Each structure stands twice: as C-alpha cells, then as structure tokens.
Amino acid sequence: MPLGWAAPIYDWYCPKLGLGPKFRAATIALAKLRPGMKVLEVGCGTGVLTRLAAAAVGPQGAAVGIDPAPEMIAVARQKAEAGAQFRLAVIEDLPFADASFDVAFASAMLHHLPPATKDAGLREVFRVLRPGGRLVVVDLDRPANPLWWLLFFPLLAWPMTASNLRGEIPGFLARAGFAPVVRHGRWLQLLSFWTADKGGAS
Ligand SMILES: C[S@@+](CC[C@H](N)C(=O)[O-])C[C@H]1O[C@@H](n2cnc3c(N)ncnc32)[C@H](O)[C@@H]1O
C-alpha cells in the first residue's frame, strides 16, 4: 500500500507521533554504519533515514532509498543531500544485483504489506544484501499495554497489519533466511526494533 497522499505532511507529522530524531538515531545505531558502506532503505518515504545513512557512510559510501509512491520519492529527491539517491521501486522486485548492499533498513513499512508480499519482499532484501550484511527493521509489534490493544485491535482484521500485531515479524525474517534475528527493544510500547543478519561472511 503506497502512501503517496501523506507525502506533503509526512515529515511534519512523524515527530508529532513520537517518531522524531531520537527514534531515527535509535534505528541508525543498530546498523553500525561505517564510512564507505552501501546502504538500502526499502519503503523510504520522504527519505529521512536514507539521508541520515548517507551522512554516516560518507562520500565513499552510498545510500539508496526506494518507494513505490511517486509523491514520496519527489519529496525525498527535493531534500536529498550528497550521497543519498532515491528510486521508484517495490520491495518485492528490487532493481539491484545480488549482494549489492552492506546494510538495509525497513522502517515502518512492513505493516504496509500483506503476508505474501512481506515474504517476497524480505527474500528480495536477503538477496541484495552481501553475505554478512544486516537488515534493521522497526515496525508495529504486539502492543505492550492494554490501552494500545484497545486502540489497535481493529487492525487485526486487516491482512497487512494483523501479522505485525500477532508478533509474527521475527518469523517472516527467519523464513527469508536471516539468522540470527534479534529484538532490541521497543518504542512507545508499540513498535519493536530488530536486527536480522545474513550469514556467510568469509
Ligand atoms: C510509513 S512509511 C515509512 C517511511 C520511512 N521508511 C520512515 O521510516 O519514515 C511506509 C512507506 O512504505 C511504502 N511502501 C508501501 N508499499 C511498499 C512496497 N511494496 N515496497 C516498498 N515500499 C512500500 C509507502 O509508500 C510508504 O512510503
């Protein structure tokens, strides 16, 4: 489900939902980015995280954000800084060669995908990561308090969000081939951070 309609207000709105600079810094920290690394963000939206990744990997590295919403990609390109590139594409058909990236991010985007697309998309991310590469995921998880359950239980009826709320994201990551899959804590008692590594580094 592309989110083009939200593009004009997205960067204003996210911090008001608690997804501001501290949230972005917590996400970036899990990737352990170093200068020269190649980074992919799937479902990049307006490109906030891709720009932070580009700054972290410096001029020898690169960060590419992909998103199927032309409106999101247009905003991302307007705001792009050195080293950050943006392309129209979907996670389930990534236009990149095998083993092209050291690190990938999927931030607040898996809950936009029905289960079959989560599976297909995560297999694609696995393919384009190099052996030893890392995927950092942050997304909806099982709510950690009753109030959130009260507000969010209607989303159990929606195929895109139901598997998130049932706590199934680690299972999707493992099925795509990632190991280990590690949860690193929660955000607002509603989202979780995970790292999912691709083995096989020499
Ligand atoms: C809530 S936004 C998250 C944007 C950004 N990653 C962030 O953390 O702010 C989810 C994004 O996923 C994108 N999206 C939806 N379906 C997608 C797909 N099949 N492949 C890649 N991105 C998709 C939407 O267009 C939207 O921009």
pLDDT, tens digit, 9 for 90 and up, residues 135-191: 999 999 999 899 999 998 999 999 999 999 999 999 999 999 999 999 999 999 999
Closest CA to 108 of 95, 96, 91: 91
As given in the structure block, the two tokens for residue 93 are 């058909």
pLDDT score at 121: 98
- Binding site membership of 43 for ligand 1 (Cβ less than 6 Å): yes
| Residue 176 placed within a domain | yes
Do the bridges between strand 84-88 and strand 129-140 make them parallel or antiparallel, or are there none, so unpaired?
unpaired
pLDDT score at 80: 79
Local confidence band at 202 (pLDDT 50, 70, 90 cut-offs): low
- Binding site membership of 15 for ligand 1 (Cβ less than 6 Å): no
- Torsions phi, psi for 99 (to 5 deg): 55, 40
Residue carrying the six token digits 């507000």: 151
Give the H or E element holding residue 63: strand 62-67
Angle subtended at Cα 184 by Cα 41 and Cα 201, rounded to the nearest 5 degrees: 60
The pLDDT > 70 percentage for the chain reads 100
pLDDT, tens digit, 9 for 90 and up, residues 3-47: 777 888 888 888 888 899 999 999 999 999 999 999 999 999 999
- Binding site membership of 65 for ligand 1 (Cβ less than 6 Å): no
- If one counts the domains in the chain, the total is 1
- Binding site membership of 2 for ligand 1 (Cβ less than 6 Å): yes
pLDDT score at 79: 87
| Residue 145 placed within a domain | yes
Distance separating alpha carbons of residues 167 and 126, to the nearest angstrom = 21
Residue 133 has pLDDT above 80, yes or no: yes
pLDDT, tens digit, 9 for 90 and up, residues 89-129: 999 999 999 999 999 999 999 999 999 999 999 999 999 99
Distance separating alpha carbons of residues 194 and 185, to the nearest angstrom = 8
Provide the residue count of the chain: 202
| Residue 153 placed within a domain | yes
Host domain of residue 40: 4-197
Sheet holding 62-67, edge to edge: 84-88, 62-67, 38-42, 101-107, 129-140, 191-197, 181-187
Local confidence band at 197 (pLDDT 50, 70, 90 cut-offs): very high
Give the H or E element holding residue 81: none
Please provide the average confidence, as pLDDT, over all residues in the chain.
Answer: 94
Angle subtended at Cα 87 by Cα 134 and Cα 41, rounded to the nearest 5 degrees: 20
Ligand 1 centroid to Cα of residue 146, in Å, is 27
Q: What is the CA radius of gyration of the chain?
A: 16
Supply the CATH number for residue 123's domain: 3.40.50.150
Q: Return the bridge partners of 104, or none.
A: 40, 135
Q: Is 194 helix (H, G, I), strand (E, B) or coil?
A: strand
Q: Return the bridge partners of 88, or none.
A: 67
Local confidence band at 66 (pLDDT 50, 70, 90 cut-offs): very high
| Residue 11 placed within a domain | yes
| Residue 135 placed within a domain | yes
| Residue 202 placed within a domain | no
| Residue 72 placed within a domain | yes
- Binding site membership of 128 for ligand 1 (Cβ less than 6 Å): no
Helices and strands (DSSP H and E) totals, the chain: 8, 7
Ligand 1 centroid to Cα of residue 3, in Å, is 7
